[in-house]
Amino acid sequence: MRITVMTADEQIISLEVAPHESVENVKALLEVETQVPLQQQKLLYNGREMRNNEKLSALGVKDEDLVMMVSNAAARSAPSNNSGLNLDGSAVDPGAFQQQLRNDSNTMAQLFQADPELAQVILGNDLNKLQDLLRQRHRQRSELRRQQEEEFALLEADPFDVEAQKKIEAAIRQKGIDENWAAALEYNPESFARVIMLYVDMEVNGVPLKAFVDSGAQSTIISKSCAERCGLLRLLDQRYKGIAHGVGQSEILGRIHVAPIKIGNIFYPCSFMVLDSPNMEFLFGLDMLRKHQCIIDLNENVLRMGGGEVSVPFLQERDIPPRFLDEERYSKEASSSGNPVSLIFSYMLLLKQILVNGMCYLLCDSMNCFQTLKKSLTV
Q: Provide the β-strand partners of residue 297.
A: 302
- For residue 105, the tally of other CB atoms under 10 A from its CB is 9
Hey, CA dihedral for 114, 115, 120, 122, is it positive or negative?
negative
Task: Based on the residue annotation, tell me whether 201 is a catalytic residue of this protein.
Answer: no
Q: How many CA atoms lie within 13 A of 317 on its CB side?
A: 5
Q: Which long-range contacts (CB under 8 A, 24 or more apart) does 83-86 make?
A: 85/134, 85/138
Distances in whole angstroms, Cα of residue 7 to Cα of each of 149, 172, 340: 11, 11, 47
Longest dimension (CA), the chain: 106
Do 218 and 210 meet the contact criterion of CB atoms below 8 Å apart?
Answer: no
- Cα(13)–Cα(4) distance, integer angstroms: 6
β-strand pairing of 66-71 with 48-50: unpaired
Q: Which of 214, 237, 276, 326 is catalytic?
A: 214
154-162 contacts, C-beta under 8 A, 24 or more apart: 155/6, 155/66, 155/68, 156/44, 156/46, 156/47, 156/68, 157/47, 159/46, 159/66
In 3-state terms the chain splits into helix, strand, coil percentages (rounded to 5) of 40, 25, 35
β-strand 12-16 against 2-7: which pairing, if any? antiparallel
CA separation (Å) from 263 to 98, 115, 202, 368? Answer: 50, 43, 5, 21
Work out the number of other CB atoms within 10 angstroms of the CB of residue 124.
Answer: 11
- Strand partners of residue 65: none
User: Is the dihedral angle over the CA atoms 154, 159, 160, 162 positive or is it negative?
Assistant: positive
Residues forming the active site: 214
